């Protein structure tokens, strides 16, 4: 079900950019996510999304964002996509992400888009405009390069092959783009072949960086849903999780050291960075030089 709601605030912020994604301000234009990844952490109770199948559209998001941007004295990277993908299928109709990018371009803030969708290409013109002024970064989450496996794990999202093609187009237009290789699901994606397969595919399509985190975090409602889906899709795998991790939040693959080694070696060989590029505000001297 799609429902429109009124949001009270939009941009959350942290004092310093977060060390993983380089994001100072964060926002979600939707609540719930049509991509329906079976491992999604946003199903956890702490986020209080009663039914993750419902997508709530923050109908007043754009005027709210314009007001909030006008009051920000400190520039910093604005992150899209922490709790819900900014390029859901309904974004074609609502165009909230596009309108948000327009408002951000006018105010000269940098952006970091995190998505699983090639719909991001629709906004290439705005990303290029932002990139000319500050920085536009696009990260595609790709947990496997195997489209058949991804169809089961991320049933509502465009396939990894489509994401990689989109990455290539963005890179060809000078938009720094990369891959979030996370989560890496134990017993399903924790082979050296899967990890190096993603790294090689990312490299072939022009990725500038890959960030990874081996394993998956699981808790309460999210774990229940994940195990239910595993029972339907991969009989026996949920039992392996139960036996190996019990109630543990952090579920690291048993061979995580081997995976880390393979990942670092492959990225090193191919010259891919393993951290996300940062945007730095221009120094005072640079600012003065502009006048
Ligand atoms: S795209 Fe991200 S937010 Fe959406 S269901 Fe998948 S993991 Fe969750």
Of 27, 33, 39, 153, best ligand 1 pocket probe by most atoms within 8 Å of the beta carbon: 33
pLDDT of residue 143: 98
In the predicted model, what is the mean pLDDT of residues 221-244?
A: 97
Confidence band, pLDDT 50/70/90 cuts, at residue 284: low
Q: Is the pLDDT of residue 232 over 70?
A: yes
In the predicted model, what is the mean pLDDT of residues 256-269?
A: 98
pLDDT of residue 231: 98
Residues whose CB is less than 8 angstroms from the CB of residue 91 and which lie 6 or more positions away in sequence, other chains included: 30, 97, 98, 119
34 CA distance to ligand 1 centroid (A)? 8
In the predicted model, what is the mean pLDDT of residues 25-47?
A: 93
145 CA distance to ligand 1 centroid (A)? 17
Q: Is the pLDDT of residue 50 over 90?
A: no
181 CA distance to ligand 1 centroid (A)? 13
Read out DSSP for the chain?
Answer: -EEEE--S---EE-SS--TTT--SEEE-SEES-TT--TT-GGGSGGG--S-TTSEEEETTHHHHHHHHHHH--S--PEEE-SSS-TT-TTHHHH-HHHHHHHHHHHHT--EEEEES-GGGGGGHHHHHHHHHHS-EEEEEE-S-S-HHHHHHHSTTSPPHHHHHHHHHHHHHTT-EEEEEEEEE-TTTT-SHHHHHHHHHHHHHTT-SEEEEEEBEE--HHHHHHHHHHHHHHSTTHHHHHHHHHTT-SEE--TTHHHHHHHHHHHHHHHT-BSS-----PPPHHHHHHT-
40 CA distance to ligand 1 centroid (A)? 5
Ligand 1 and 134: CB distance under 6 A: no
Q: Is the pLDDT of residue 62 over 90?
A: yes
Domains and CATH numbers, the chain: 2-289 (3.20.20.70)
pLDDT tens for 183-208 read 999 999 999 999 999 999 999 999 99
37 CA distance to ligand 1 centroid (A)? 5
195 CA distance to ligand 1 centroid (A)? 20
d(CA 195, CA 144): 8
Ligand 1 and 40: CB distance under 6 A: yes
* Angle 167-172-178 from CA coordinates, rounded to 5°: 35
Atom number, ligand 1, closest to the C-alpha of residue 39? 7
pLDDT of residue 49: 79
Tell me the average pLDDT of the chain: 95
Q: Please check whether residue 127 is in contact with residue 101, taking contact to mean a CB–CB distance below 8 angstroms.
A: yes
pLDDT of residue 16: 82
d(CA 188, CA 169): 29
In the predicted model, what is the mean pLDDT of residues 213-235?
A: 97
Ligand 1 and 229: CB distance under 6 A: no
Nearest CA to ligand 1 atom 7: 40
Atom number, ligand 1, closest to the C-alpha of residue 114? 2
38 CA distance to ligand 1 centroid (A)? 9
Ligand 1 and 116: CB distance under 6 A: yes
Atom number, ligand 1, closest to the C-alpha of residue 116? 1
């Amino acid at each position: 079900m799609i429902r429109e709601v009124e949001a009270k605030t939009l941009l959350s912020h942290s004092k310093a950019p977060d060390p993983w994604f380089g994001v100072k301000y964060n926002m979600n234009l939707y609540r719930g996510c049509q991509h329906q990844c079976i491992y999604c952490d946003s199903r956890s109770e702490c986020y209080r999304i009663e039914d993750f199948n419902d997508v709530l559209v923050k109908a007043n998001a754009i005027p709210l964002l314009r007001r909030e941007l006008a009051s920000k004295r400190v520039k910093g990277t604005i992150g899209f996509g922490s709790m819900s993908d900014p390029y859901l299928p309904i974004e074609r109709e609502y165009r909230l992400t596009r309108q948000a990018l327009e408002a951000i371009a006018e105010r000269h803030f940098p952006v970091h888009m995190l998505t699983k969708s090639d719909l991001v290409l629709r906004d290439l013109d705005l990303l290029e405009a932002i990139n000319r002024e500050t920085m536009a970064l696009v990260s595609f989450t790709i947990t496997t390069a195997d489209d058949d496996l991804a169809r089961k794990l991320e049933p509502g999202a465009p396939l990894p092959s489509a994401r990689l093609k989109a990455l290539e187009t963005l890179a060809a237009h000078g938009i720094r783009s990369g891959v979030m290789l996370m989560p890496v699901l134990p017993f399903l994606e924790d082979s050296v072949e899967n990890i190096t397969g993603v790294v090689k595919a990312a490299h072939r399509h022009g990725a500038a960086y890959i960030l990874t985190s081996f394993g998956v975090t699981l808790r309460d409602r999210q774990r229940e849903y994940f195990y239910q889906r595993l029972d339907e899709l991969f009989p026996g795998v949920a039992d392996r999780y139960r036996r190996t991790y019990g109630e543990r939040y952090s579920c690291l693959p048993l061979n995580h050291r081997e995976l880390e080694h393979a990942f670092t070696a492959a990225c090193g060989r191919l010259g891919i960075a393993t951290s996300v590029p940062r945007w730095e505000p221009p120094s005072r001297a640079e600012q003065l030089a502009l006048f």
